[in-house]
């Protein structure tokens, strides 16, 4: 079945360093890839997304890249801050569907 | 604009007891979703509503789970009877009809079954 693998499961970085989280999807029909940030006791919050007709998208310190051939997409956070500490989920879905297949999450810890 | 509201935030019950969760979506959002999130996992869809109609409940364990959205706004998810394995966070999300790619999540209800 459809599957999204996410790595690493935990990531610790020093404040100011960059963090990279990687996902791989299995369904070649997937064409929409959102990233969610979930803080403790809160629901997931959409932070950035990318569609299959774009290879990269950037929003301030956050960027996402997509390699459709390899079925890989990645989240890049630069100049990390303690408030970036949270669990990050990637997801994949196909146009015209509402079904997100989520990755298993990455717990990011930014050390001050 | 108010976000998705869920209550209660936490619930502890004994196994075999019933439990219900309530969700109020963002105003104007026709589509409502219930997700199950197990510890250390991503959310998994249980059911999706378009207005008051459940258009996909294929992942809902119908022997013990039920849901309703009678007036196409608020929704209730019920478990009866609860089992130990139901301990999880139950998330509600909503989106504008036709914009399923912009789903907004509520804070969730953390259920503990003892």
Distances (CA, A) of B98 to A90, A101, B34, B102, B104: 21, 18, 17, 9, 14
Distance in angstroms (rounded) separating the CA atoms of residues B18 and B14: 9
Q: Give me the pLDDT at residue B1, please.
A: 63
**Test the B interface: residue of A43, A51, A52, A86 with most B CBs within 10 Å:** A43
Q: Establish if B25 touches chain A: CB-CB under 8 angstroms.
A: no
Other Cβ atoms within 10 Å of B56 Cβ, number: 16
Q: Establish if B23 touches chain A: CB-CB under 8 angstroms.
A: no
Q: Establish if B93 touches chain A: CB-CB under 8 angstroms.
A: yes
Q: Give me the pLDDT at residue A95, please.
A: 67
Distance in angstroms (rounded) separating the CA atoms of residues B99 and B31: 9
Q: Give me the pLDDT at residue A52, please.
A: 85
More confident residue, A54 or A95: A54
Q: Is the pLDDT of residue A97 over 80?
A: no
Which residues are within 8 A (CB) of B101 and not within 5 positions of it... i.e. 6 or more apart? A32, A34, A49, A93, B95
Closest CB to B101: pick one of A32, A102, A105: A32
Query: pLDDT band for position A111 (50/70/90)?
Result: very high
Q: Establish if B4 touches chain A: CB-CB under 8 angstroms.
A: yes
- In total, the C-beta contacts within 8 angstroms joining chain A to chain B are 53
For tokens 């009877």, what's the residue? B81
Low-confidence ranges of chain B (pLDDT < 70): 1
Q: If you average pLDDT over every residue of chain A, what do you get?
A: 93
Query: Are the CB atoms for B82 and B19 separated by under 8 Å?
Result: yes
Closest to A93 measured CA to CA, from A85, A101, A103:
A101
Q: Report the residue of chain A nearest B4, measured CA to CA.
A: A43
Distance in angstroms (rounded) separating the CA atoms of residues B2 and A99: 24
Distance in angstroms (rounded) separating the CA atoms of residues A3 and A6: 10
What is the mean predicted confidence (pLDDT) over A38-65? 92
Q: Give me the pLDDT at residue A1, please.
A: 66
Which residues are within 8 A (CB) of B53 and not within 5 positions of it... i.e. 6 or more apart? none
Closest to B33 measured CA to CA, from B42, B41, B20, B23:
B23
Q: Kindly tell me the burial class for residue B32, based on how many C-beta atoms sit within 10 Å of its own C-beta (0-12, 13-18, 19 or more).
A: buried
Reduced to 3 states (helix: H, G, I; strand: E, B; else coil), residue A98 is coil
DSSP code string of B6-59? EE-SEEEE-TT--EEEEEE--TT--EEEEEEE-TTS--EEEEEEETTEEEE-TT
Distance in angstroms (rounded) separating the CA atoms of residues A79 and A81: 7
Q: Give me the pLDDT at residue A96, please.
A: 62
Q: Establish if B26 touches chain A: CB-CB under 8 angstroms.
A: no
């Amino acid at each position: 079945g459809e599957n999204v693998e996410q790595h690493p499961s935990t990531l610790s970085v020093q404040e100011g360093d960059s963090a990279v989280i990687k996902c791989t999807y299995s369904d070649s029909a997937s064409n929409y890839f959102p990233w969610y940030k979930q803080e403790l006791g809160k629901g997931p919050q959409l932070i950035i997304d990318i569609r299959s007709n774009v290879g990269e998208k950037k929003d301030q310190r956050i960027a996402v890249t997509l390699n459709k051939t390899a079925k890989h997409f990645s989240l890049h956070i630069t100049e990390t801050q303690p408030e970036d500490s949270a669990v990050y989920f990637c997801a994949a879905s196909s146009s015209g569907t509402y079904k997100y297949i989520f990755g298993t999450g990455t717990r990011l810890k930014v050390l001050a | 604009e108010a976000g998705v509201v869920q209550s209660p935030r936490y619930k502890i019950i004994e196994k075999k007891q019933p439990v219900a969760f309530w969700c109020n979506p963002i105003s104007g959002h026709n589509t409502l979703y219930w997700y199950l999130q197990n510890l250390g996992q991503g959310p998994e869809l249980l059911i999706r509503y378009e207005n008051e109609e459940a258009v996909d409940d294929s992942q809902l364990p119908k022997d013990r789970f039920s849901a309703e959205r009678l007036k196409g706004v608020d929704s209730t998810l019920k478990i009866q009877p609860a089992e130990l394995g139901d301990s999880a966070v139950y998330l509600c999300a909503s989106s504008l009809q036709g914009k399923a790619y912009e789903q907004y999540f509520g804070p969730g209800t953390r259920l503990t079954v003892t």
